[in-house]
Amino acid sequence: MQYALITGGSRGIGKAVCLKLADMGYNIIINYTSNDEEAKKTADAVKAKGVDAVLLKCDVSNMEAVDSTIGKWMEENKDKTISVLVNNAGIKRDNIMVLMPPEDWHKVMDTAVDGFFFVSRLVVKDMLVKRKGRVVNVVSLSGLKGLPGQTNYSASKGAVIAATKALAQEVGKRGITVNAVAPGFIKTEMTQDLPEDQIKGMIPMNRFGEAEEVASVVGFLVSKDSTYITGQVISVNGGLYS
């Protein structure tokens, strides 16, 4: 009974990851925070692939909520193992820094950084006991090179990149790998307000990426083909930055 937990798994990149890992035979736990309709659609699509789909609705930036949903599920399902964790939940609230409302700074930081911590502390603890596990953190090009208008988002993803490298060193001896995937511009609701025609000229591959192109790298990082890769950040950005 191997499960993969994908935070922010109901839409966009997270949804593509759920479907990819379902194809690989994992049962899927889909975390999300508000959009019940999309979450149910994703769960139905996962189930159609012949594996189990569990919906766990909670805000990953709220520790009590994480403990009382994800923690509770783990407690009540001791016969099931979360052997893959994909920390994917994320939001953006872009603005130039001097005009950025403090709540937009905190909301973006809390979702990415606290979300990573609150979920991983529960799941990785269990992985350590079982001496098995894969963690993949979805970060961003913005966290590698910094992007103007995204000081909050760049800082949050940069923090998760550093945490990825630190955690990988903590848990490697127990057979657990921790890696990050850094997408560039990917077609999801998060980027739907961006002018793709203007931006794509800057991208060597001259287009935005598809969510499935990120999901396939996550699939590789949780597969048997990547057993000796840990603490790495893999860019999926059409050559925009490396």
Query: Rule CB under 6 A: which residues touch ligand NAP?
Result: 7-8, 10-14, 31-35, 38, 59-61, 88-91, 111, 138, 140, 183, 185-186, 188-191
Nearer to ligand NAP, 13 or 51 (CB): 13
Which amino acid makes up residue 237? N
Dist. CA 110–CA 73, nearest whole Å: 23
Going by C-alpha positions, the residue among 123, 130, 22 that lies closest to residue 82 is 123
Nearer to ligand NAP, 44 or 189 (CB): 189
Report in angstroms how near the CB of residue 118 gets to ligand NAP at its nearest. 10
Report in angstroms how near the CB of residue 124 gets to ligand NAP at its nearest. 18
Report in angstroms how near the CB of residue 185 gets to ligand NAP at its nearest. 5
Convert 170-194 to b/e letters by CB count within 10 Å (16 or more is b).
ebeeeebbbbbbbbbbbbbebbeee
Report in angstroms how near the CB of residue 182 gets to ligand NAP at its nearest. 7
Nearer to ligand NAP, 154 or 226 (CB): 154
Active site residues: 153
Dist. CA 50–CA 158, nearest whole Å: 37
Nearer to ligand NAP, 18 or 127 (CB): 18
